[in-house]
C-alpha cells in the first residue's frame, strides 16, 4: 500500500453520496495498513471522500494541501504520536474535527486527547457504522461553527459604515 491512498476510484465505482450539503472529507490516520485499507474502502462505499496517512507527520503534510473536515486519528503510532499530531492539527487547522481512535486506551490518554481538542475518543475495534455516525456528528458540529463565523463576519461588515457613509458624515460637519 502506498503511504497515502485517496479512494477516488472507489467513489466512482460505488457512486457519490447524494446530498445538497457539502460533502464530508475524512482523513484516516493509523499505522495499521489493514485498518486504513478496510475502513477506507468501507467509508468510500458510503460515499465519503477518504484520504489516508500512516503516520502523524504524513497527516500534517497532507493537511497542508487538502481540504479535510474530520480526521480519525490513532493514538499510538511510531514517530509522532496521535496526541502530538492532534495538538499540531488544532494549532494549524482549528476547524478540523478530530476523533481519537485506539486499541490501547487509558483514561489519562482519553482525557488528554479531549483536553487537546478531540471531539470524541473511540476504542478499537469499532464498527464502521459507529465511526460514520461519530464522523457525521463531528462534521455537523463543524458546519455549525462555520455558519456562526459567517454570520459574525456578515454582522461585522454590516455594522461598519461604508466609505460613502463616512464621506457624507464628514461633508455635513
| Distance separating the N- and C-terminal Cα atoms of the chain | 72
Does 2 have pLDDT greater than 50?
Answer: no
Cβ-contact 30, 54 below 8 angstroms: yes
Q: Are 42 and 70 in contact (CB under 8 A)?
A: no
Q: Give CA–CA dist 51/70, Å, rounded.
A: 10
Structural domains of the chain, with CATH: 8-145 (3.40.50.2300)
Bridge partner list, 51: 6, 27
Q: Provide the pLDDT confidence category of residue 107 given band limits of 50, 70 and 90.
A: confident
pLDDT at 20 over 50: no
Q: Band the pLDDT of 50: cuts 50, 70, 90.
A: very high
- Among 5-19, 125-139, 145-159, the minimum mean pLDDT is found in 5-19
Q: Are residues 95 and 146 in contact, defined by beta-carbon separation less than 8 angstroms?
A: yes
pLDDT, one tens digit per residue, over 52-64 is 999 999 999 999 9
Distance CA 125, CA 35 (A): 10
Round to whole Å and give the CA distance between 63 and 110.
Answer: 23
Q: What is the pLDDT of residues 151-169, one digit of tens each?
A: 888 887 777 655 555 456 5
For 116-139, letters b (16+ CB in 10 Å) and e give bebbbbbeeebeeeebbebbeebb
Give Cβ neighbours of residue 94 (< 8 Å, ≥ 6 apart).
Answer: 117
Q: What is the pLDDT of residue 158?
A: 75
Amino acid at each position: 500500500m502506498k503511504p497515502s491512498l485517496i479512494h477516488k476510484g472507489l467513489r466512482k465505482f460505488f457512486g457519490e453520496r447524494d446530498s445538497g450539503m457539502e460533502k464530508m472529507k475524512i482523513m484516516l490516520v493509523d499505522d495499521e495498513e489493514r485498518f486504513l485499507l478496510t475502513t477506507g474502502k468501507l467509508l468510500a462505499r458510503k460515499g465519503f471522500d477518504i484520504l489516508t496517512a500512516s503516520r502523524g507527520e504524513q497527516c500534517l503534510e497532507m493537511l497542508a494541501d487538502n481540504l479535510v473536515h474530520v480526521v480519525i486519528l490513532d493514538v499510538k503510532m511510531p514517530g509522532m504520536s496521535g496526541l502530538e499530531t492532534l495538538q499540531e492539527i488544532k494549532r494549524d487547522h482549528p476547524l478540523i474535527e478530530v476523533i481519537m481512535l485506539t486499541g490501547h486506551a487509558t483514561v489519562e490518554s482519553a482525557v488528554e486527547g479531549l483536553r487537546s481538542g478531540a471531539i470524541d475518543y473511540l476504542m478499537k475495534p469499532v464498527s464502521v457504522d459507529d465511526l460514520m455516525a461519530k464522523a457525521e456528528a463531528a462534521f455537523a458540529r463543524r458546519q455549525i461553527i462555520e455558519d456562526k463565523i459567517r454570520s459574525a463576519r456578515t454582522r461585522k461588515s454590516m455594522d461598519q459604515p461604508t466609505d460613502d457613509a463616512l464621506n457624507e458624515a464628514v461633508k455635513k460637519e
